[in-house]
């Protein structure tokens, strides 16, 4: 068994005064304090762009040193925007193997060290295929815009149909103290927001932000432990032009299937969901890949309130990537940290009452790398 015994995170935002190491250390110390332990057997860091944006690789050793833990084995795991989820999974595997008894998992990203938007966009585009996509000028928003356009065509949707998810996410984020965008938006706000890459609008998109989240996981159960009862990972073709179906997240389907099998659960047994809504269309595709909605019908279910915090199946009760924020390599750890607080009844105004099980989806690229974790109240 693998248990989450503590969590900590920073507020997400444009944190100019903090370094990459500052953020990682703050989150890590909070998680260690929450777990009431002083040492761990290993450190696993999830990060995407430290080399490009912060001129810092060898991040595992740098963070171990910054924590005063030189001597502890520490490594960086990179899977684009899915780096945080990948770090959790590989840390859990190391504990299940018996090699380590405990591990500190840190997801961290300092995106504002690069101040020019074109440079930030280029750094994020490294999650795409360098040879066939980014080298030809395709940015991450433009690739998601192509997927969105195809999804609209396939299901006969209007741009307005994509507004419902960001509206819900901003509503949820108002109650999350660590969220980056703590304000509500309306349908009118959405439709007035500028295009980034038509039909993709500014309010379809998660923001640039800095942040770190951390977990203490262990083979030993504590008083407020939450069990990691299943996990799975999968990849897909990286270039979207080479996929059989542009509007299907096969990696998420496979990863979720593996996670549910490991946990001995069905998707109908899940009480709370964390999806990877870096863009509105990706949020809809996540819900479809998990088998929670029919293809092309996600907007109807979101608008109808099924995924509200008090709805049939709460989704992203803290605001998701869209409004809680998306410091890319840290996102997967934020998701599981939020679930840990939910399942230990410590989520404050974001609390989902009665939740016993939860699932988190963290993806890299346009769905080319995915990890899924299932957590259960002990």
Retrieve residue 78's tokens.
């990179």
Select from 69, 33, 62 the least CA-distant residue to 47. 62
Please count the structural domains in the chain. Answer: 1
Give the mean model confidence (pLDDT) for residues 54-69: 97
Examine the residue annotation and report whether 241 is marked as an active-site residue of this protein.
no
In a domain, 236, yes or no: yes
Q: Which residues contact 62 (CB under 8 A, 6 or more apart)?
A: 21, 56
Distance CA 353, CA 376 (A): 14
User: What does the pLDDT look like over 217-230, one tens digit per residue?
Assistant: 999 999 889 999 99
In a domain, 163, yes or no: no
In a domain, 311, yes or no: yes
Give the mean model confidence (pLDDT) for residues 334-346: 98
Determine the pLDDT at residue 118. 65
Select from 277, 328, 278, 276 the least CA-distant residue to 50. 328
In a domain, 88, yes or no: yes
* pLDDT range class, residue 354, cuts 50, 70, 90: very high
In a domain, 143, yes or no: no
* CATH code (residue 349): 3.40.47.10
**Could you say which of 81, 164, 299, 373 is catalytic?**
81
Domain with 219 in it? 3-115+207-377
Give the mean model confidence (pLDDT) for residues 46-65: 95
Examine the residue annotation and report whether 326 is marked as an active-site residue of this protein.
yes
In a domain, 272, yes or no: yes
User: What does the pLDDT look like over 191-209, one tens digit per residue?
Assistant: 999 999 999 999 999 999 9
Determine the pLDDT at residue 82. 97
- Judge residue 90's burial from the number of C-beta atoms within 10 Å of its C-beta, 0-12 exposed, 13-18 middle, 19 or more buried: buried
* pLDDT range class, residue 210, cuts 50, 70, 90: very high
Distance CA 112, CA 103 (A): 28
Select from 284, 369, 366 the least CA-distant residue to 90. 369
Determine the pLDDT at residue 98. 97
pTM to 2 decimal places = 0.97
Match 């038509």 to its residue by tokens: 198
In a domain, 168, yes or no: no
Given a cut of 80, whether residue 121 has pLDDT beyond it is no
In a domain, 194, yes or no: no
Q: Give, to the nearest 10 degrees, the angle between helix 280-289 and helix 164-173.
A: 90
User: What does the pLDDT look like over 249-274, one tens digit per residue?
Assistant: 999 999 999 999 999 999 999 999 99
User: What does the pLDDT look like over 136-194, one tens digit per residue?
Assistant: 778 889 999 999 999 999 999 999 999 999 999 999 999 999 999 999 999 999 999 99
* Measured torsion, CA atoms of residues 247, 337, 46, 94, in degrees rounded to the nearest 10: -110
**Could you say which of 170, 326, 350, 373 is catalytic?**
326
Q: Could you count the other beta carbons within 10 Å of the beta carbon of residue 325?
A: 28
Select from 369, 155, 128 the least CA-distant residue to 250. 369
Beta carbons of 196 and 143 less than 8 angstroms apart: no
Select from 378, 31, 14, 363 the least CA-distant residue to 217. 31
> How do 211-218 and 3-9 pair as beta strands?
antiparallel
Determine the pLDDT at residue 117. 61
């Amino acid at each position: 068994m693998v248990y989450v015994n503590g969590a900590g995170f920073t507020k997400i935002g444009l944190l100019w005064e903090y370094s990459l190491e500052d953020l990682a250390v703050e989150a890590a110390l909070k998680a260690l304090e929450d777990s009431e332990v002083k040492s761990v057997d290993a450190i696993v860091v999830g990060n995407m762009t430290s080399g490009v944006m912060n001129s810092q690789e060898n991040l595992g050793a740098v963070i171990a040193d910054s924590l005063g833990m030189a001597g502890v084995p520490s490594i960086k795991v990179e899977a684009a925007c899915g780096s945080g989820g990948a770090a959790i999974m590989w840390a859990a595997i190391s504990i299940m193997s018996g090699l380590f008894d405990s591990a500190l998992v840190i997801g961290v990203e300092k995106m504002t060290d690069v101040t020019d938007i074109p440079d930030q966009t280029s750094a994020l585009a490294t999650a795409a295929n360098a040879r066939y996509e980014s080298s030809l000028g395709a940015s991450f928003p433009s690739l998601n815009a192509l997927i969105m356009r195809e999804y609209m065509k396939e299901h006969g949707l209007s741009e307005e149909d994509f507004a419902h998810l960001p509206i819900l996410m901003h509503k949820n984020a108002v109650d999350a103290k660590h969220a980056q965008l703590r304000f509500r938006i309306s349908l009118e706000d959405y439709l007035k927001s500028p295009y980034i890459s038509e039909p993709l609008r500014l309010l379809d998109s998660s923001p640039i932000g800095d942040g770190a989240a951390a977990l203490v996981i262990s083979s030993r159960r504590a008083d407020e432990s939450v069990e990691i009862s299943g996990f799975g990972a999968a990849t897909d073709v990286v270039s979207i032009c080479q996929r059989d179906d542009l509007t299907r997240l096969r990696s998420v389907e496979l990863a979720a299937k593996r996670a549910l099998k490991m946990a001995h659960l069905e998707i109908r047994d899940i009480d709370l969901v964390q999806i990877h809504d870096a863009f509105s269309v990706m949020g809809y595709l996540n819900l479809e890949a998990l088998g929670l909605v029919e293809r092309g019908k996600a907007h109807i279910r979101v608008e109808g309130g099924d995924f509200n915090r008090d709805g049939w199946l709460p989704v992203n009760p803290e605001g998701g990537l869209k409004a809680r924020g998306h410091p890319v390599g840290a996102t997967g750890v934020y998701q599981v940290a939020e679930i840990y607080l939910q399942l230990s009844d410590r989520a404050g105004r974001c609390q989902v009452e009665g939740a016993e099980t939860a699932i988190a989806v963290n993806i890299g690229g346009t769905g080319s790398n995915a990890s899924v974790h299932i957590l259960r109240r002990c």
